[in-house]
Chain A
Amino acid sequence: MNSLVEWVSQPWPWYVAGPIIGLMVPLHLILLNRTFGISSSFRHMCAACVPNNLDFLKYDWKAESWNLVFVVGVLLGSFLAAQYFASDAPIALSDAAVSRMHDLGIQDLSGQHPAELFAWNRLGEIPTLLMIVLGGFLVGFGTRYAGGCTSGHAIMGLSHFQLPSLVAVLGFFTGGLIMSWILLPLILH
């Protein structure tokens, strides 16, 4: 049992994690009779919580409440991973990525993300404010405008060769490259 915990606690290589994520596609289709996609949960929560009179949010979100239960599962699984299967080792970034992070002024690479940026008490500072508040807003707006996120378009959509999904993924990288290469260095400096 201990060796199993130890084994699970190591960082999982891509060739273990990727195929299991891929299995989310048939598991959703067969067990839930639904397509895999997570960003819809934002829409369901919006429809459920925000009083409004907008056509886009007038639908039976309760029929899709399984999607919100899936989110509860994600919270639970990530909590268990952090509590019981955590690894002490820092993320094994490539040397090139480590030196780029240092160039961006980020010294502490010990956690999942820059500890000095992702904290409640840093929200008063421009970089954190932009990354959390504007970043979160763009993710929500962009997924609904595009009709899906990394799971719904990149994994589910590409798995059944949907051209709009390929176009959306090209968009993901257009935005991601502009942010990572041009805007983020400006935000962090």
Chain B
Amino acid sequence: MKNIIALILGTLFGLILVKAEVLSWFRIQEMFAFQSFHMYGIIGSAVAVGALSVFLIRTFKVKSLEGNIIELADKAPRYKSAYLGGTLFGLGWAMTGACPGPMYALIGSGTTVMILAVIMGILGVLAYAALRDKLPH
């Protein structure tokens, strides 16, 4: 059941990433140059809807399909890693023009060279896993 739901949500998400041009390298460059509202409108309205949903879920103690009252754990308060890791991620995002979701959506929509970007992303995780103890968090 969980897998069927995940498949449906993923399909919807993939469709949006293509149709709203979120997977476009051009759109990402345009965003980082502050030359269009498009990407800011998408991220901003997504956060607004997300925040309202979280507020309602908490206020009405909504239960998940599994029957538990939904509780959201706080992100670990590691600010150095959030900023440094975020900066490395941002460098990569602006270079490939794609964060992980759009990488998959690019592969699905025919830009198969992004398979290599995903493989490199997996190796990036491996490098992080190996260096983790030596990095500031």
Instruction: Give the interface of A toward B (CB within 8 A).
Output: 8, 11-33, 35-36, 38-39, 41-43, 45-46, 49-50, 52, 54-57, 65-67, 69-82, 85, 91, 93-94, 96-97, 100-101, 109, 112-114, 117-120, 123, 130-151, 153-165, 167-181, 183-184, 187
Contacts and interface: CB of A to CB of B under 8 A. Distances in A.
A164 B76 contact: yes
Interface residues of B, number: 114
Nearest to A16: B20
18 contacts: A21-B42, A25-B53, A31-B64, A32-B5, A33-B70, A41-B100, A54-B132, A66-B5, A75-B10, A81-B14, A97-B29, A118-B113, A132-B96, A140-B122, A155-B47, A178-B91, A184-B94, A184-B95
B43 to A, nearest CB: 6
Given A22-B50, A42-B124, A66-B3, 16 more contacts: A17-B42, A18-B49, A19-B46, A25-B54, A31-B5, A43-B125, A82-B18, A93-B26, A93-B35, A135-B91, A136-B117, A137-B92, A155-B43, A170-B86, A171-B86, A173-B90
Interface of B: 2-3, 5-33, 35-39, 41-51, 53-54, 56-57, 62, 64-66, 68, 70, 72, 74-79, 81-101, 103-114, 116-130, 132, 135
Secondary structure dominating the interface of A: helix
A187 B96 CA distance: 12
Nearest to B109: A82
A123 B116 contact: yes
Contacts of B78: 147, 164
A70 B13 contact: yes
Contact of B51 (A78, A79, A91, A160): A160
